[in-house]
Copies of this chain bind each other. A is one copy, B any other.
Amino acid sequence: MAKPKLRIIPLGGLSEIGKNMMVIEYEDDILLVDAGLMFPEEEMMGVDLVIPDISYLMDKKDKIRALVITHGHEDHIGALPYLLPQLNCPVYATRLTHGLISVKLKESKTLANADLRILPPGGKVTLGKFRVETFPVCHSIPDSVGLIIYTPLGIIVHSGDFKIDYTPVTGNPTDLSRLAQVGSQGILLLMSDSTYAELPGYTPSERVVGEALEHIMIEAPGRVIIATFSSLVSRIQQIIDAAARHNRRVFIVGRNMSEIVRMALDMGYLKAPDGVLARMDELRGTPHNRTVFITTGSQGEPTSALVRIANKDHRQVHIIADDTVVISATPVPGNEALISRTIDNLFKQGAQVLYNDIAEVHVHGHASQEELKLLMNIVKPKYFMPIHGEYRHLCLHAKLAQSVGIPKERTFVMEDGEVLEIDQSSAKVDGRITSSNVYVDGLSVGDIGTVVLRDRQMLARDGMVVVIIAINRQTGKLVGRPDIVSRGFVDTKEYNDMLDKSRDMVAEYLDRGGDHPADWSFIYTKVRDILNKFYYEQTKRRPMILPFMVKV
């Protein structure tokens, strides 16, 4: 009989690994952690979102005991509307995360059939042969947790996304003492957040930003406009607190930001002294140096309020002299150009703009190297798997592990879809399941594949040319001149002569030839070759060429 084994499989996160979903399997029980989405990379043209490929789970649905969510960020909950109807298992989350998931499922009309359950930080639940206990961690959204997973082969600790902040603004510090207690029992496997494994030292406390915000409230001669993530409730709390202390009123701009603020207030995650929060219709009566706006758009998102403001395209807010804009965030990789452009546009309108490169207006939500080492020291795991980060971050995190005494051969730097198998005496990476990126484009999930993307890339680079050829049904001879239309290829006025000449070339070939009058695929290929060669000589471009034959 085969020895019982734990199988751990990270799933789907584009260049980041184990970010969007983690599969933990023991005999007939499967536990899932997180169900997030990623935003597409540049060459994934037209794709809206990317979600994990759960085809591996499709014939094992009856074994899935639950999906446990560590926190309410998109890269951990965003795939639920797509995946939950297929997985159809209970979802455990803390109260705020539960609230955010509910909103998300409601929007996508998948809430009715969802089995959502609240598991508070420190709560425990038995799920098949697993027992899961959550512990609070600090991160850039309240109510984040890590997981202590008791399995028949030992205890797994999953850090979630975390940092160690001894003076958090909202919620509790990361529960190091509970981890130390559990650590003393012996931990089989630690899976830990590698996002900032490149960064030496310690990540500063969220409070550092509070001081910077206070200075800004005091010194800004006019209005203060602060852009941040709507889920970064502790930042919003600090803005409200600083505004209250310096007698400014706070206006929330934008639908998404307003919704999250209302929810956080209702649920008690956010507190505002009476009279600090203002309605937009009170704006006119508020002096400039008593005004603060909170808005989204810190990533340069084209439809966000801040970008609209920067483009003079916002209904309610326009930049005026003496405005101070604060970008209280750092760029998510890939967004750098959008953010730069937004900052440039705000400066052009005369605003002073403060951003992280020139002022301490943001701290991030992930542990730096010393914190990562601290966690490993407390947990003292037998095996270690760095997760949440690009491959190089995992490698650097693995090196940190070696520096605190976790041997290389017990450290597993994995790629998505690889399977870590652990039995009572050993652990090894053994095989790989089918796992690819699933693209969401519009309503469709998964139909966009290599062919469609390659076509889009080709169309994007040099455009396309359609050639319409009318052929006499009886004689097989060309009727009239071939018609040629191009889009995205050349300036059709300037290149009129060239396009015209190419019509003649096709006509000439068809008139001359005729040895394969019925063999359309041969003609098709030949016409494409002729035009490809001619256009490339003339322009050094290679448009997609689509010949059509119509029999008349």
Question: A residues within 8 Å of B by Cβ?
Answer: 15, 41-42, 45-46, 198, 333-334, 336-337, 340-341, 343-344, 347-348, 353, 357-358, 390-392, 395-396, 415, 441-444, 447-449, 451-453, 455-464, 466, 468, 470, 483, 485, 487-491, 494-495, 538-541, 544, 546, 548, 550, 552
Given A333-B340, A466-B548, A541-B46, are A456 and B488 also a contact pair (CB < 8 Å)?
A: yes
Given A41-B337, A459-B488, A488-B452, are A348 and B391 also a contact pair (CB < 8 Å)?
A: yes
Is the beta-carbon distance between A395 and B347 smaller than 8 angstroms?
Answer: yes
8 other A-B residue contacts (CB within 8 Å) besides A15-B340, A452-B491, A464-B487:
A15-B341, A45-B488, A46-B541, A333-B337, A448-B490, A455-B463, A468-B548, A552-B552
Is the beta-carbon distance between B546 and A15 smaller than 8 angstroms?
Answer: no
Given A460-B45, A490-B444, A491-B449, are A358 and B396 also a contact pair (CB < 8 Å)?
A: yes
Shortest CB-to-CB span from A322 to chain B, Å, is 14
Shortest CB-to-CB span from A115 to chain B, Å, is 28
Residues of B near A458 (CB, < 8 A) are: 488
Query: Max chain B CB contacts within 10 Å: which of A42, A455, A470, A540?
Result: A455
Shortest CB-to-CB span from A15 to chain B, Å, is 6
Contact partner of A548 (CB less than 8 A), chosen from B392, B483, B487, B489, is: B483
Contact partner of A447 (CB less than 8 A), chosen from B353, B357, B491, is: B491
Residues of B near A488 (CB, < 8 A) are: 45-46, 452-453, 455-456, 458-459
**Roughly how many angstroms separate A485 CA and B198 CA in the complex, as a whole number?**
49
Is the beta-carbon distance between B541 and A442 smaller than 8 angstroms?
Answer: yes
**Roughly how many angstroms separate A462 CA and B442 CA in the complex, as a whole number?**
10
Q: Nearest chain-B residue to A41 (Cβ)?
A: B337
Residues of B near A485 (CB, < 8 A) are: 546, 548
Q: Which 8 A-B pairs have the closest CB atoms?
A: A442-B540, A460-B460, A552-B552, A455-B488, A459-B459, A456-B488, A344-B391, A447-B491
**Roughly how many angstroms separate A448 CA and B461 CA in the complex, as a whole number?**
12
Given A46-B541, A340-B333, are A392 and B462 also a contact pair (CB < 8 Å)?
A: no
29 intermolecular pairs with C-beta atoms under 8 Å apart:
A15-B340, A42-B42, A45-B488, A46-B461, A333-B337, A334-B336, A340-B390, A348-B391, A441-B462, A442-B539, A443-B539, A444-B539, A447-B490, A447-B491, A448-B490, A448-B491, A452-B488, A452-B491, A455-B463, A456-B463, A456-B488, A458-B488, A459-B460, A459-B463, A459-B487, A464-B487, A466-B548, A468-B550, A470-B552
Shortest CB-to-CB span from A71 to chain B, Å, is 24
Query: Max chain B CB contacts within 10 Å: which of A462, A468, A488, A489?
Result: A488
Given A396-B358, A546-B487, are A459 and B464 also a contact pair (CB < 8 Å)?
A: yes
Shortest CB-to-CB span from A379 to chain B, Å, is 24
Contact partner of A337 (CB less than 8 A), chosen from B42, B358, B449, B455, is: B42
Residues of B near A348 (CB, < 8 A) are: 391, 415
Shortest CB-to-CB span from A155 to chain B, Å, is 29
Shortest CB-to-CB span from A167 to chain B, Å, is 26
Residues of B near A453 (CB, < 8 A) are: 488
**Roughly how many angstroms separate A343 CA and B540 CA in the complex, as a whole number?**
32
**Roughly how many angstroms separate A334 CA and B339 CA in the complex, as a whole number?**
12
Is the beta-carbon distance between A333 and B336 smaller than 8 angstroms?
Answer: yes
**Roughly how many angstroms separate A358 CA and B368 CA in the complex, as a whole number?**
12
Is the beta-carbon distance between B46 and A463 smaller than 8 angstroms?
Answer: yes
Q: Nearest chain-B residue to A396 (Cβ)?
A: B358
Shortest CB-to-CB span from A441 to chain B, Å, is 6
Shortest CB-to-CB span from A485 to chain B, Å, is 7
Shortest CB-to-CB span from A370 to chain B, Å, is 15
Contact partner of A463 (CB less than 8 A), chosen from B347, B390, B449, B452, is: B452
Is the beta-carbon distance between B487 and A455 smaller than 8 angstroms?
Answer: yes
Contact partner of A464 (CB less than 8 A), chosen from B461, B464, B552, is: B464
**Roughly how many angstroms separate A396 CA and B355 CA in the complex, as a whole number?**
12
Shortest CB-to-CB span from A520 to chain B, Å, is 13
Residues of B near A337 (CB, < 8 A) are: 41-42, 333-334
Shortest CB-to-CB span from A59 to chain B, Å, is 21
Is the beta-carbon distance between B344 and A390 smaller than 8 angstroms?
Answer: yes
Residues of B near A391 (CB, < 8 A) are: 344, 347-348
Contact partner of A441 (CB less than 8 A), chosen from B415, B494, B541, is: B541
**Roughly how many angstroms separate A390 CA and B348 CA in the complex, as a whole number?**
11
Is the beta-carbon distance between B340 and A470 smaller than 8 angstroms?
Answer: no
Q: Nearest chain-B residue to A444 (Cβ)?
A: B539
Q: Nearest chain-B residue to A451 (Cβ)?
A: B491
Q: Nearest chain-B residue to A47 (Cβ)?
A: B461
